[in-house]
Amino acid sequence: MSLPRATVRVTPDRSVFTGETVTLKCEIEDQYRSLNWRYLWYKNTTKVFNSGRYTLNRDSLTIRGVTESDQDEFRCSTGIHGRPQTLQSSSAAYLTVKGSKPKLTSNTEGSVLTGNTVTLKCHIDHWSTEWKFYWYNNTQNTEKTTTATNSYTIHSVKVSDGGQYWCRAGRGKPDYYTDYSDGLWINVTESPKPVVSVDPDKQLFRGETVTLRCDIQDTGDTEWTYSWTVKKTNNRNIITQCNTQECKINNIQPTDSGKYTCRGKIREQNTEMSDAVTLTVSSGEFICLFIIISVKR
């Protein structure tokens, strides 16, 4: 009788982390499982026995507290009791063992301005949907939150969100946890509020030139970019073409009337929106009419 060749299935994965528990199972096609099989296990060419971290249980081999020395090829040999000539080897399953310390990164550099979004990422090799990620802030004793993916986002950050963060990952039953990442500092500072000034005046006549200036005080930064928004009388917000600190409007028209605001941006972070400055542009026709009436008199 030609016997089937066994295959080796590895749980949780062929790529595991130091300290994790891994189980290798020698699987034979269903129609042959009723036979009186015997199993032998080999690490590379060395026979494996019950010892220390290695536990043999008929068709399975469990390795507890995996170390880098366990990285190797594993195979099982199967045969029928009383028929030594039937012994044959499975294909090899290569077990990869990696260090278990994740790397924590952030989408921000330097200080984060309040009101912005911070995204942290916990990087481990070959993670999949079976992993959960655990996040810690200021102390490793209490989890801040748990996520099903390797990213954690803090929306509209506050000063109180600042501090040191760590992450680690876990999977399996019972849970296996990686080491903690190194700590990562997130510094949150109050977002400055720009102030808009107008030259020559907020009350204007058609055809005049007006310059609006967006000033951000007491930051010491010179790399700001700027955006300007005008709210029309119909409450429609329009982003203007101005993208510099000074927004100059030549030959202004009544249609340019509205409430103007600005905000600054640096390192992909926005400041607060300034208070609105209202520009009112008159057509000047009533002046001409007044002059004509005065002359006729």
The domain tally of the chain equals: 3
The candidate with the shortest Cα–Cα distance to 74, out of 86, 60, 64, is 60
Taking only the tens place, the pLDDT of each residue in 33-70 is 667 788 999 999 999 999 989 999 989 999 999 999 99
Compare 167 and 78 and report the one with higher pLDDT.
Answer: 167
Name the pLDDT band for 293 (thresholds 50, 70, 90): very low
172 in helix, strand or coil? Answer: coil
Domain identity same for 124 and 90: no
Domain identity same for 123 and 179: yes
d(CA 214, CA 167): 40
Cα-to-chain-centroid distance, residue 160: 20
pLDDT (mean) for 88-101:
91
Tokens of 289: 């009419």
Domain identity same for 118 and 78: no
Domain identity same for 71 and 108: no
Taking only the tens place, the pLDDT of each residue in 4-23 is 788 999 999 999 999 999 99
Has residue 247 got a pLDDT over 80?
Answer: yes
Query: Does residue 234 fall inside a structural domain?
Result: yes
Q: Which residues contact 184 (CB under 8 A, 6 or more apart)?
A: 104, 105, 106, 120, 164, 165, 166
For residue 171, the enclosing domain spans: 103-189
Amino acid, single-letter form, for residue 116 = N
Query: Does residue 39 fall inside a structural domain?
Result: yes
Query: Does residue 1 fall inside a structural domain?
Result: no
Taking only the tens place, the pLDDT of each residue in 189-230 is 999 999 999 999 999 999 999 999 999 986 666 689 999 999
Query: Does residue 174 fall inside a structural domain?
Result: yes
**What proportions of the chain, in percent to the nearest 5, are helix, strand and coil?**
10, 50, 45
Domain identity same for 42 and 56: yes
d(CA 91, CA 106): 43
Query: Does residue 222 fall inside a structural domain?
Result: yes
Domain identity same for 141 and 79: no
CATH of residue 244:
2.60.40.10
Return the H-helix or E-strand segment holding 40. strand 37-43
Domain ends where: 158, 189, 220?
A: 189
Phi and psi at 125, nearest 5°, equal -75, 135
Query: Does residue 201 fall inside a structural domain?
Result: no
Domain identity same for 182 and 215: no
pTM above 0.85, yes or no: no
Taking only the tens place, the pLDDT of each residue in 107-165 is 987 789 999 999 999 999 877 888 999 999 988 888 889 999 999 999 999 999 999 99
